[in-house]
Amino acid sequence: MTANRRPLIAGNWKMNGRGDDGLVLALQLAERMKAKKGATFDILVCPPFTLIYGVGQALDDSGVGLGAQDCHAIESGAYTGDVSAAMLADLGCAYVIVGHSERRAGHAEINSLVRAKAEAAHAAGLIAIICIGETEAERDAGKTLDVVKDQLSGSLPDGAGAANTVVAYEPVWAIGTGRTPTNDEVQEVHAFIRAELTARFGPSEAQGLRILYGGSMNPNNARELLALSDVDGGLIGGASLRCEDFWSIAQSCP
Ligand code: 13P
């Protein structure tokens, strides 16, 4: 983290939360945020589609942001079951996650589709949180940086910049497993991502663009991870479902 980037703590609720439990969590977070004077971090939650409206109402003007977990690449039309970025903006979302590894793996999402979704997000005025990260087999084969480079160049649209894009580095093998890379390994990949962003978008955009770490971040390891110079926040799954844990991670921002 450096002074010119404001930390971003984002909760990805995945396919969790029904009715009251999601709303209670949102209300608890909103209360914490309202009571916090002069927060030096940005915080947001990405509930499932079904809860976005209610969570948005619960968050009100607390300062906790609202996002979604996916969007379609096209604005409207005959796409049964899909939700467009414009619809999410309509609901009050400011962010949308695209290219999460669970969608790449479970819905065969390839880089070009992720890129099209990020473009749709930008067109709707949303900030795209674009996820990348290697599998365990790729890491074991020494291909981590190659995979990250390929996903970055294929998934980020040309119009990406600090104002409309966040990159989330999530090693697939660290998601939901309780395992994380070492701090040195995380910093190595994040610095590599920033160098790639610098080469493509120029130093000013790359210096402002936030790169989040995701994968088993929790209250015990957050402080060390968030202190790394090219880690600008976290994308948190499991621990974002408990107000206490999620808030504690946010409090760990330098
Ligand atoms: P966990 O924090 O549960 O490992 O999930 C990380 C993630 O996939 C966030 O998008």
Nearest of 251, 246, 244, 224 to residue 235 by alpha carbon: 246
Q: CA 157 to CA 64: how far, in whole Å?
A: 27
CA angle 87, 112, 93 (to 5 degrees): 20
Give pLDDT < 70 ranges for the chain. Answer: 1-3
What residues does 214 pair with on adjacent strands? Answer: 235
HEC string for 31-76: HHHHHCCCCCCEEEEECCHHHHHHHHHHHCCCCEEEEECCCECCCC
Tokens of 77: 């039309």
For residue 191, report the distance from its CA to the centre of ligand 1, in Å. Answer: 21
Question: Would the pTM of this model clear 0.95, i.e. be above it?
Answer: yes
Q: Which fold has domain 8-251?
A: TIM Barrel (3.20.20)
Domain ranges of the chain: 8-251
The average confidence (pLDDT) of the chain is: 97
13, 14, 131: residue to mutate for ligand 1 pocket, most atoms within 8 A of CB: 14
User: In the annotation, is 72 catalytic?
Assistant: no
Q: Which atom of ligand 1 is nearest to the CA of 101?
A: 8
Q: What are 110-146's pLDDT values in tens digits?
A: 999 999 999 999 999 999 999 999 999 999 999 999 9
Q: CA 169 to CA 68: how far, in whole Å?
A: 18
User: What spatial distance separates the first Cα and last Cα of the chain, rounded to whole Å?
Assistant: 8
Q: What are 158-195's pLDDT values in tens digits?
A: 999 999 999 999 999 999 999 999 999 999 999 999 99
